[in-house]
Structures are given as structure tokens and as C-alpha cells.
Structure 1
Amino acid sequence: MTKKLMFATLTCVAFAFSANAHASDVEHFKGKPSDTLEQAVSNFSEYNNKLEKVLAGDMTPEAMNEVHELTYTLENALGKISEELRELADVLEEVHVASEHADGNAVKKHGQKYLEVSREVIK
């Protein structure tokens, strides 16, 4: 076998082995749960900081795996935050409509609920 042919064969074998090993190495994680808005905001902040640190370095296979893991928790957090903000928009609309009708009691009631939830996102 010529050196070129041997090198080509070994390269193909090595590539096939590493591709199969890499594909099977990818694990799927659940990530940290974000059952409440408070938990989601905390996870979002913590895991954004972790992602920022990983992104500041080289994108090694280990770093790529870490990013992969981090995204599960970030996706959980964003899902909960999005859900809560959609509901918060509805509450704000109740404040808006109550203010148009000069309904002070409803403005206070819905306004307090709005502030309570919104302050969990922005402190």
C-alpha cells in the first residue's frame, strides 16, 4: 500500500470514528427547571453569566458541550419568562382599561398585581 493510500485510508477511518463518537457524545439534558418567575429570572441571570464566560474562551469541544448544556436551562427560563410576560401584558391591559373608565378600585387592584409581577423581572 502506498503512503498516500495508507494516509487517506487512515484519515477516513479516523474521521468516521470521530464523527460517530461525537454524534453519540451529544447528550440531551433537561436543564434546571424554571417553575416560577423568580426561579426563571435567577436561572436566566446565572446561566447568561456562565454562557458569557464560555464564549470569552476558545470554542473547544468541551466548550461546545458546556454551551449545549447551558442552553437547556436558558430555554427553560426563557419559556417561563415569556409565559409570565404574556400574562403580565393582560394584567396591564386591565389597568389600562380601568384607567379609561376611571375605575380607581380596579386600577389599584390590577396595578398592584402588575407591579408585583413586573418587579420580579426588573428589580
Structure 2
Amino acid sequence: MKTTASLILTILLTTLSFASVADEQRPDHFKGQQAASLTEAVELFRTSNQKLKQLLQGDLSPEAMVEIHQLTYTLENALEKIHSETTELKEVLEEVHLGSENMDFAKVKKQAARYLDTATTLVK
């Protein structure tokens, strides 16, 4: 029993040390551009995708790979902001849905306006 525990501990420590070495060999990480609003996130997403498409047009060089690596951080940040905003948007739409079922005119008017304000940002 003690031997099994020692073996498991050894395997775990070996795995952690290999992971640590792998992290040390990875290139420096970047923060990427942050979006303070959904509008900014959508714009960053759009422009960063255009830049990625341009970088992929020709042969990939080490410089292009560095640019792509940096660009992915901005894209990840934009997607995270869009995801958080659309999660809230889904909740607001549910309020519109429930309000319409219950003939709650004031609630539908208020929540639908909130919904449309955010939704139109996504489809400009």
C-alpha cells in the first residue's frame, strides 16, 4: 500500500516537473487588446480577423507567426467579452419571452429595448 502511494506521488511529481519545463520553453505571453464594451469587442474581433486573414495570404514566416501569436490574445479577449455580453443578452431575451407569455406589456417594452440595443451591436 505504501509502495503504491509512493509510486503515485513519484508519477505526479515527475508530471508536474515536465509541465514546468514545458512552460519555460513556451514563448513569452502577451495580454492582447482588451475591450471595455461589446461595441469595442466586436470591432476588435472584426479587425483582428481581417489582419489574421491578411497574414495567412502569403507564406508564413517566423515574423508572421509571432504576429499571429500576439493576435490570438486579442481575439481571445474579444471573444470572451462577446461571450459574456451574449450570455446576458440571452437572459434579457428570456425576460421578453416570459413577458410576452404573461401579456406584461411594460416588461416586454423595456426588456425588448435592452435586447435590441445589444443585439444590433452584433449585426451592424
Q: TM-score range by the shorter chain?
A: 0.7 to 0.9
Larger radius of gyration: 1
Residue 26 of structure 1 contacts residue 65 of structure 1 at CA under 8 Å; is this kept in 2?
no
Indicate the residue corresponding to 1:79 in structure 2. 80
Distance in structure 1 (CA, Å) of the matches to 2:83 and 2:94: 17
- Cα distance in 2 for residues equivalent to 1:101 and 1:58: 59
Cα deviation 1:59-92 (Å, max 9, x = unaligned): 2111111100100100000000000000000000
What SS does the aligned partner of 1:30 have? coil
Q: Which moved more, 1:25-34 or 1:73-82?
A: 25-34
How well do the aligned residues superpose, as a CA RMSD in angstroms? 1.5
Query: How many residues in Structure 1 have an aligned counterpart in Structure 2?
Result: 101
Contact 1:47 1:73 (C-alpha < 8 Å) held by counterparts: yes
Residue number in structure 2 paired with 1:96 = 97
Kindly tell me: are residues 87 and 25 of structure 1, through their superposed partners in 2, closer, same or farther at Cα, counting changes over 3 Å? closer
Deviation at 1:37, TM superposition (A): 0.6
List structure 1 runs of 4+ shifted beyond 2 angstroms.
Answer: 23-27
Query: What code does the residue aligned with 2:84 have?
Result: E
Provide the secondary structure at the position in 2 that maps to 1:41.
Answer: helix
TM-score, with structure 2 as normaliser: 0.77
8 Å contact from structure 1 (residues 33, 73) kept in 2: yes
**Structure 1 unmatched runs, 5+:** 1-22
CA deviations 1:5-26 (Å, max 9, x no partner) are: xxxxxxxxxxxxxxxxxx8682
